[in-house]
């Protein structure tokens, strides 16, 4: 196990629930766990060591390594052979709501929403929320266009539009100038605001692949995706139908949010609060090629 900082300390101390479950599962299968602090030197040495390696949100270093990360909300996790979410197994699967009981899904979503997004009932105004991420002036391989171009498409609809900046990203002076020029051309565009408050009130979310759109599903908010991600199944995807059509359809787009969230989290992730967690951990490891 290659972990960083607080996650490593709590895992060693036995106070990290998911790591406790993982350790019990692999030791129950006859394996043993070693804790290592991740870093450049450790990653460089890993392929030369015996056994199998598991990283947290880092690219695997060799063909006996996998990576894991939280599936947006605790206590849900995913173990995968690749770090890009749009390449995860769930991203390749077909969502079929017919096999999911709607009452079970509704209860699941209500419980999750009350725990992670409690607050007043969501409303629906005309505003489009555009949660920006990083590298806003560059179009990367998983995107249909740059974030600045995306924002221009949304603002050009004439709808009230709010673009919020990611607190964990760094924006340089050229980024800010690009946003200022857009706001000057489009009086309906505002830069900055409380993302989660706006999410509760907005009409829909337009983004490359921000987790804010996934959180919006819990509030019944449709999403227009300009990039690839694992929760694309019920979104309007620009890569498939184009930006103009996707933005036009967003107002009336009404997928089955409850059954989708149940399918995505309960049926395609590891629920560390469920009795099946250990078996699911081993199943995802085997899917990743581990002989456990």
For the chain, what is the domain count?
2
Neighbours of 192 (CB within 10 A): 11
Domain of residue 30, residue span: 2-93+268-288
Alpha-carbon gap, residue 43 to 268, rounded angstroms? 28
- Report CA-CA distances (Å) from 77 to 6, 51, 151, 159, 268: 18, 22, 31, 36, 9
Q: Output the pLDDT for position 147.
A: 98
Q: Are residues 230 and 124 in the same domain?
A: yes
Q: Output the pLDDT for position 132.
A: 98
What's the chain's average pLDDT?
97
- Asked if the structure places residue 240 within a domain, the reply is yes
β-bridge mates for residue 36, sequence order = 2
Tokens 């101390």 belong to 13
Q: Are residues 13 and 36 in the same domain?
A: yes
pLDDT for 108-149, tens place per residue? Answer: 999 999 999 999 999 999 999 999 999 999 999 999 999 999
Q: Output the pLDDT for position 26.
A: 98
* Residues 189-194, mean pLDDT to the nearest whole number: 97
Q: Output the pLDDT for position 201.
A: 97
pLDDT for 230-274, tens place per residue? Answer: 999 999 999 999 999 999 999 999 999 999 999 999 999 999 999
| Residue 103, CB-side half-sphere exposure with 13 Å CA sphere | 0
Q: Are residues 251 and 156 in the same domain?
A: yes
Q: How confident is the model at residue 156 (pLDDT cuts 50, 70, 90)?
A: very high
Which helix (H) or strand (E) is 79 found in, with range?
strand 76-80
Burial level of 118, CB count in 10 A (0-12/13-18/19+)?
Answer: exposed
pTM metric for this prediction: 0.96
Alpha-carbon gap, residue 94 to 211, rounded angstroms? 20
- Report CA-CA distances (Å) from 285 to 26, 122, 229, 279, 288: 10, 38, 21, 10, 5
- List the CATH number of the domain containing 225: 3.40.50.2000
Q: Output the pLDDT for position 220.
A: 97
* Residues 96-110, mean pLDDT to the nearest whole number: 97
């Amino acid at each position: 196990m290659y972990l960083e900082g607080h996650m490593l300390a709590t895992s060693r101390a036995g106070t990290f629930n998911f790591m406790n479950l993982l350790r019990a599962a692999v030791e129950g299968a006859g394996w043993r766990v070693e804790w290592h602090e991740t870093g450049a030197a450790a990653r460089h040495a890993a392929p030369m060591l015996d056994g199998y390696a598991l990283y947290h949100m880092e690219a695997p270093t060799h063909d006996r390594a996998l990576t894991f990360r939280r599936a947006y909300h605790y206590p849900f996790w995913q173990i995968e052979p690749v770090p890009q979410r749009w390449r995860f197994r769930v991203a390749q699967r077909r969502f079929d709501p017919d096999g999911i009981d709607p009452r079970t899904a509704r209860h699941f979503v209500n419980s999750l929403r009350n725990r992670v997004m409690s607050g007043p009932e969501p409303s629906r105004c005309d505003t489009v929320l555009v949660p920006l991420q990083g590298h806003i002036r560059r179009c990367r391989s998983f995107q249909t266009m740059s974030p600045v171009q995306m924002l221009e498409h949304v603002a050009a609809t004439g709808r009230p539009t709010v673009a919020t900046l990611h607190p964990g990203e760094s924006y340089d002076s050229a980024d800010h100038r690009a946003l200022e020029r857009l706001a000057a051309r489009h009086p309906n565009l505002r830069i900055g605001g409380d993302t989660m408050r706006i999410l509760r009130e907005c009409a829909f979310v337009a983004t490359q692949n921000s987790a804010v759109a996934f959180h919006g599903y819990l509030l019944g908010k449709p999403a227009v995706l300009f990039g690839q991600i694992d929760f694309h199944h019920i979104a309007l995807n620009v890569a498939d139908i184009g930006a103009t059509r996707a933005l036009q359809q967003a107002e009336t787009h009404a997928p089955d949010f409850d059954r989708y969230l149940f399918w995505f989290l309960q049926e395609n992730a590891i629920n560390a609060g469920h009795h099946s967690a250990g078996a699911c951990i081993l199943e995802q490891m085997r899917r990743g090629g581990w002989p456990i």
